[in-house]
Structure 1
């Protein structure tokens, strides 16, 4: 009898350790998400921040079984079933947020690079992987064979004379009825052939009209290069043809890549272009375009992707990730794509306030290892600005001027104290940079309008060359 009482007592004690030892269905294993997050915060002595609205009515199945030996691994297991992810904001704080397909954790990014490193150990094996990835990216973009160029000639506006350089607005028809507008900056004094520099825009307010983009192109022209700044699809004058919301569509990644190639065609066809000195640089989304174009087009001899190279962040716009290019060859990322510039000179600018914060420790050493396959380690450089944020500010531009001066044989413009000086560059009002007039009145009559028209034109163009 005593043994029976003891058994019952033990059973009661075990029951007090956890309610419902036995379950009649799997439903009993799930717990409210906010409760699980609070338990996890206590267990690992960290802060977990979240908006109650995104955890409201969210339940985690098999919650206890999802805990691992670190906060990061536990959060991944807990948040994935409810379509959430996290972002580490400091050493002990995590912010829960909606799942972002284009962002991994830093740990995952580092692990992916470690997996890549097993695939090649020398120049030959790297070149094989590079060839495979490039072919696949072209295929995913439907640009294995480029569409035929429209027969129209570039459209130019009147040339404006500045201090040491000129500016004229242009438009290039890259597909039938699709016009890409830009501003062409040339040095006034030209002796022989000069470098040409493509400057694709990023996702910053005002596009190519913003002051930092104008400073950059004007300064490069004053240094002795021809620089071309131009609109993203549905930015700037492209809004004469598209709604701003049209930019966030997968087809834009393909068409903008084609636009970059066509704008490069235009620069390389200029009479005074030096085809041994052809560069591309852009910040943020412009950095994404810089990496892709450099990987795909061997005409690029020097590149400078600004605040975009990252192992754990791919780009938050479908114009950067809208087609499955990053799934090529079993999966790739922007570090491998940036490394495809090797052995051509490449500057990587990073900062402490965005997804490039880990470049000095993770991404750049990896890229430099690829350059070492070509004995070209000295041809790639990282300028890291730990106290700065995601922009195209002065210090980022200064790094670009210095790098291009060295590798494109340009002349730095300095003040009396020896500092690089942008003060003679003129920042023009937006209407001065229009190609088609103040109200778009000069837009060609064959200009297409809307995303459906763009899709039709692009699909027709690629079908014609793939017959």
Structure 2
């Protein structure tokens, strides 16, 4: 049975909320559905050829995946296991520049060449060494297939501590967004390298390579086949649904296509595989809302129409099994029959060979426990290394203030229409308030929205303090999001949902801050605004003041990170998932935003991205960088650290 390691086992699950009672959930689902219904199957092959090229380009832009054709594989074999009909090689090889992955390759006895299958794992303990993954691999090898199983980025033997099993998603996986990378993109890039490896072996039939996997591994199988035409046949298992169904549900960030619903639906991604062979397997009792048989059939119907345009109806197949979310024994048999048909051209069902016993997970380890090669870079160290590479070039990338502000606006994607909509939504509770010359605005996570009594009490000349909930909290909270977030980290559900529809939580908070100040200054043009907030919301306040430099007199923030730069620490949950903003480090990080503003900042207990309070040395380095940028950008901001 498939056991998802992304779900905590120690929390007490609250009663599942009624989705129709949750206004925020309904609004986000409405926006997602409006995007979903735009996508219809193409009517001609010419229409599809144009459309698929645009989608492919958008996928590259969104995920930032790469082909590393000239990068050496540098394959190292640490152990060879001899079985009755095949051998297993425990290997590691270079997948990304200076980044290596652990893997096993199963090779049938004989001279070959043999067809090959890449066998991808989902969010399960021990990664590629899990019994379900190894069982499939040995079954494939016993039936004349070379099978390659690799640990996904941050999983299995690539976990932070060798021998443990990490979950690579949530805040840790989402942190890649700040580098303009994605966990999905890294997985695509590394899986492409698996094909590179197979194509480097003389024993492999390079014209007959397939890919399969369950759950998150099935998702990887779909993406790999969609972007790399060297895959002749794909079989994603319990992983196909609709992108629309991902919104406001529990799914990993490795399955997140940022801005995805703004340019495609899942049937179009599967359509990129056409006219190559595709078999989709789903489970009737699947508890994942995104992967139900109903959602799969919506996608399969439209994907099938694309295959019809190629006259390749015989190469697409979908099947529903009466069990739960797993790669069952039934599906394993269908896997052999399907690959025999499309990779070996064996039409009739043949006898399937099964190994007498399966290799234990300890034997499949590439390295002895605790003796892992330093070439196996963990997620934390990858983030640290990439941050250093990107930020080392900071001063060479600074443009004029207006150009920098415009680049930041592109990252945030805030339009005039968004501001008008936000103004109407967030300022409707400010009627009948008489504002003073100095107004303190407190944006917080826990305060109550102003009610009628409080507004009446504030209706005089002494009004100087207003308190608002941030989107996603208090009056603007989502009970559906809170329910799913129990299993992971706060704002996991809302942050992922917003990324699917082309937004971010930080962006929403910036809009909320901007329109609130606009309303107040429309009523009281010459008032002084003092903005107070904390933690993740402090970033929204800083970025807002960078885009509109003269709106706020003083910003007081507490416990806010002053940089997105990762230090190699395996600590990611001091801040919730609202904090991530795609490409912010590449743009110049928080320090550049501070240097662009004309606001006076009071930073109380400033921290790094891991939540650690800055040391004296770190504060000095930060002020030095800020001061240098301030001179270059010629702003009037000031910083006081408490």
**1:246 shift after superposition:** 4.3
Matched, 1:299 2:265: no
1:452 and 1:167 mapped to 2: Cα distance?
Answer: 29
User: Is the Cα contact below 8 Å between 1:223 and 1:410 reproduced in 2?
Assistant: no
Which of the residues 289, 310, 314 maps onto 1:378?
A: 314
By how many angstroms is 1:374 displaced?
Answer: 0.4
The change in CA–CA distance for 1:297 and 1:265 in structure 2 (over 3 A counts) is same
- Find the aligned partners of 2:99 and 2:213 in 1 and give their Cα distance: 22
Residue 258 and residue 401 in structure 1: after superposition, are their counterparts in 2 closer, same or farther (change >3 A)? same
Number of aligned residues: 363
Q: Distance in 1 between matches of 2:78 and 2:187?
A: 23
1:139-169 Cα offsets, whole Å, 9 max, x none, are 22223x5457654611112321212111111
**1:365 matched to 2:296:** no
Task: Tell me what 2:607 maps to.
Answer: none
Q: What is the aligned partner in structure 2 of residue 448 from structure 1?
A: 377
TM-superposed deviation, 1:177: 3.9
* C-alpha RMSD of matched pairs (Å): 3.4
Could you say which residue in structure 2 is the equivalent of 1:23? none
Cα shift readout 1:12-40 (whole Å, capped 9, x = no counterpart): xxxxxxxxxxxxxxxxxxxxxxxxxxxxx
Distance 1:276 1:419, change over 3 A: closer
Contact 1:309 1:338 in 2 (8 A): no
Aligned to 1:115: 38
Is structure 2 residue 216 aligned with structure 1 residue 281?
no
Unaligned runs of 5+ in 2: 1-12, 177-182, 398-642
Instruction: Name which of structure 1's ranges 344-353 and 120-129 shifts more when overlaid on structure 2.
Output: 120-129
Q: Secondary structure at the match of 2:230?
A: coil
- Tell me which of 367, 373, 393 is aligned to 1:436: 367
Matched, 1:390 2:311: no
Q: Give TM-score scaled by structure 2 length.
A: 0.51
The match for 1:88 is none
1:172–1:181 contact (8 Å) kept in structure 2: yes
The match for 1:34 is none
TM-score under structure 1 normalisation? 0.69
Matching residue of 2:139: 219
Aligned match for 1:324, one of 241, 246, 258: 258
Which residue is equivalent to 1:79? 22
Query: d(CA) in 2 for partners of 1:265 and 1:282?
Result: 19
Alignment of 1:208 with 2:131, yes or no, is: no
Mapping 1:94-243, distance limit 5 Å: 114-117=37-40, 120-143=42-65, 146=67, 150-151=71-72, 153-191=74-112, 193-240=113-160
Cross-structure match for 1:61: none
Identify which range, 232-241 or 127-136, moves more after superposition.
232-241
Preserved CA contact (<8 Å) 1:280 1:304 = yes
Aligned equivalents of 2:73 and 2:207: distance in 1? Answer: 27
Moved more, 210-219 or 403-412: 403-412
Q: Which whole-Å CA distance do the structure 2 matches of 1:292 and 1:134 have between them? A: 11
Aligned to 1:157, the other structure's residue is in SS state strand
- In structure 1, list runs of 5 or more residues that go unmatched: 1-49, 56-74, 86-98
User: Given that residues 448 and 454 in structure 1 are in contact (C-alpha distance below 8 angstroms), is that contact kept between their aligned partners in structure 2?
Assistant: no
| Contact 2:304–2:316 (8 Å) recurs in 1 | yes
2:271 is matched with which residue: 329, 335, 339? 339
For 1:412 and 1:158, how far apart are their aligned partners in 2? 36
